[in-house]
Structure 1
Amino acid sequence: MERRRGRRRGIGAIVLLVAGGLLVLGGTVCGATADGHSEVDYEKYRIPGDHMRPTYAAGDTGWFSMGAAGEELEIGRGDVVLASVPEWRAGGLLLSRVVARGGDRIEHRLGESTLRLNGEPLDEPYILDRWVPAVVPFDVTVPEGRMFLMGDNRGNSADSSMHLSEDGGTIALSAIRGEAVVRPTELVVAGGLLVVGALVFLLGGLLGIVALVARRGKPSPAQPGWGVPVPGASD
């Protein structure tokens, strides 16, 4: 009895092709159901200093959803943003946190352990030193279309509180270039599935070609089992 060459390779190729196709399909579905993330431009940003500790330390990498102007991003109080403020930071983007928006009154009174937002104490669990909400006193009513920004390391941050003579330290909403987000895991997983699936599918295709070439060769004689007489052998 004879068996065809490449049979096992052919089976392996089919398994790889099916597995690769399923991985690609899974990556496509995962990407399509990522809550609209596929329509958002994400960028990584290397943190240049310690002014945002403990949220970010120097050398950390943050993920940001990017927009052409602040109006395209849903920015709220407490959000961490990237802003283009050349007069504060030349040659780069400013990483800071939104403390107050247009219409808000933001205050710091010396001796108080919290800022005041619209007359009420502002809870800021994210700052480095809860007892030092600012290093200078201020009382600013933020104009509409502008924001008041502060770093989380209040003792080491060139933020709005350090530029009070310039529009009360506020910046235009249109200066916002990006908003910090949790790493878009769905897109990372989707991309990984697509890449791995494509590689597995390609490997299956190559193995299938090898199997087809082997099948065109002469069939290999099956090895006799134990105790089975070989035709033509003498008794």
Structure 2
Amino acid sequence: MDTEAQHMERDRSSGPAEGPEEGSRSTHVRDRPVMSVTWGRAIFLGMLCTVALLLFSAFVLQPFLIPSGSMEPTLRVGDRVLVNKLAYRFGSDPRRGDVVVFDGTGSFVQEPASGGNAVGELLHGVAASLGLAEPAGSDFVKRVVGVGGDRVVCCDERGRLQVNGAPVDEEYLHPGDHPSDVAFDIVVPDGRLWVMGDHRSNSRDSRDHLGQPGGGMVPVERVIGRVDWLGWPLGRLGSLEGTDAFTGIRPADAHHG
């Protein structure tokens, strides 16, 4: 009886046992759904983060790649700046001395012809909005020199720019540059801006469009935002320095009155 009991006990303990191959196979099969769920969640989270980043870039803060040297030494080729899109959203207007990014369509460039590569333009627009590609050909970065009503003249007898009769000490100019090699005397219409690059000898700005429709004046509603911070390179990371060059200039109405 003891011998039979031992045999029965052995049979019960060894019956459901599985070989090493079967056990590993069943474990592998069970792991597959878990991995697919993990990958699916990662892809979803990645898409969600991308959409959130694009929305943030579209309405709040947009990276902008500097494509040319027209704003040197303030901004250099390859710099990535952060454009504050809320700067002029709540009743504030661009001020003299602000560095702004704007859409130059209709003022600096002609209206684009229709029928381009829509998919390519969309992908490029997404990359540009993240600061990964050069901006659209209609986007520019310049410094505001005159606002609506201002009389901007260049140059006085000492070779200085004047705004509303007051000379402007433009300390931000590229070393060796003059305020302008092109003489002009203009009055900025209301709702528009007169803008110029800091590297005057290497900048196509409002001066280059004087004889064209609009006279090189940029509509305020075309301003995308104000450049407030430098995001790259890391050695220059920080807020963009302001300027006191326009401090004390009287408003246009006070000057003309």
Give the shorter-chain TM-score range.
Answer: 0.5 to 0.7
CA root-mean-square deviation? 2.7
- Give the distance between the partners of 2:190 and 2:138, measured in 1 at CA: 25
AA partner of residue 58 (structure 1): V
- In the alignment, residue 205 of structure 2 is paired with which amino acid? D
CA distance in structure 2 between the partners assigned to 1:155 and 1:46 by the alignment: 21
Instruction: Report Cα offsets for 1:2-54 as digits up to 9, x if no partner.
Output: xxxxxxxxxxxxxxxxxxxxxxxxxxxxxxxxxxxxxx711111100000000
**Contact 2:177-2:201 within 8 A present in 1 as well:** no
TM-score (normalizing by structure 1) = 0.56
Q: 1:53 to 1:183 in 2, by over 3 A?
A: closer
* Higher RCO (Cα < 8 Å, 6 or more apart): 1
Q: Could you tell me which residue of structure 1 aligns to residue 243 of structure 2?
A: none
Q: Does 1:92 align with 2:138?
A: yes
Residues 93 and 71 (structure 1 numbering): CA distance in 2 closer, same or farther, change over 3 Å?
A: farther
Unaligned runs of 5+ in 1: 1-39, 185-235
Unaligned 5+ segments in structure 2 are 1-58, 113-136, 232-257
The count of aligned residue pairs is 146
Q: TM-score, normalised by structure 2?
A: 0.51
Match of 1:213 in 2: none
Alignment of 1:144-159 (within 5 A): 144-159=190-205
Distance 2:211 2:160 in 1: 22
Q: Which residue number in structure 1 is paired with residue 99 of structure 2?
A: 80
How far residue 73 of structure 1 moved from its aligned partner, in angstroms, is 5.1
- Residue 168 (1) aligns with residue 215 (2): yes
Distance across 1 between alignment mates of 2:187 and 2:86: 26
How far apart in 1 are the matches of 2:184 and 2:90? 27
Match of 1:48 in 2: 67
Q: CA deviation at 1:109?
A: 2.6
- Contact residue 107 and residue 116 of structure 1 kept, 8 A: yes
Per the alignment, do residues 75 and 68 of structure 1 end up closer, same or farther by CA in structure 2, a change over 3 Å counting? Answer: closer
Which residue among 80, 97, 103 is the counterpart of 2:149?
Answer: 103
Identical-residue share of aligned pairs (%): 34
Which amino acid is 1:175 matched to? R
Please say if residues 67 and 177 of structure 1, whose CA atoms lie closer than 8 Å, have aligned partners that are also in contact.
no
* In 1, Cα distance between equivalents of 2:102 and 2:90: 13
